[in-house]
Structure 1
Amino acid sequence: MKNKENVALDTFSILSNSGWIMVIMRIANIISTPWQAIMKYWLCLLTVSVILGITAAIIGLWTKGGGHKVD
């Protein structure tokens, strides 16, 4: 029996991990990026994820016919 492991990297997890790396590096004083810039990064990531979530929900409703059953 073969054991296959599928590694899937999605954009959100990469961006989220890079955000956490920025926070950890800022706490350790490795980088001197202002906290306001890091918070703007997280706010931008949140905004993009909310917009994509709303868009996916609208497309999901649209492809199902808006919840109306046609006989």
Structure 2
Amino acid sequence: MKNKENVTLDTFSVLNSAGWFLTIANIAGITQLSWHAILGYWGVLLLICLATAIIDPLVNKGGNKGGEK
């Protein structure tokens, strides 16, 4: 039996990692972005999360009809 590991990257984790990089790089002095721009990035990411959390149950309101037993 072979052991297969599937590596998946979802969009949110990539955006989240980019946000942490921007924040830490700004604290370390690597970048010279304004804190307003970084907070705006986190704000947009929060809005994406909220929109996904609201829209997903509306789209999938039927639930799991059938499937594996």
Q: Distance in 2 between matches of 1:24 and 1:32?
A: 12
Q: How far 1:57 moved relative to its partner?
A: 1.0
Q: Distance in 2 between matches of 1:57 and 1:43?
A: 22
Report the TM-score, using the length of structure 1 for normalisation: 0.84
Q: Give percent identity, aligned residues only.
A: 43
- Tell me the number of residue pairs that the alignment of Structure 1 and Structure 2 aligns: 63
Q: How far 1:43 moved relative to its partner?
A: 0.4
Deviations 1:24-52 (A, max 9, x none): 10010000000010000000000011101
The structure having more radius of gyration, on CA atoms, is: 1
What are the residue-to-residue correspondences of 1:1-71 with 2, within 5 Å? 1-61=1-61, 63-64=62-63
Where 2:60 maps in the other structure, the secondary structure is helix
Report the TM-score, using the length of structure 2 for normalisation: 0.86
Letter in 2 for 1:11: T
Alpha-carbon RMSD across the aligned residues, in angstroms, is 0.9
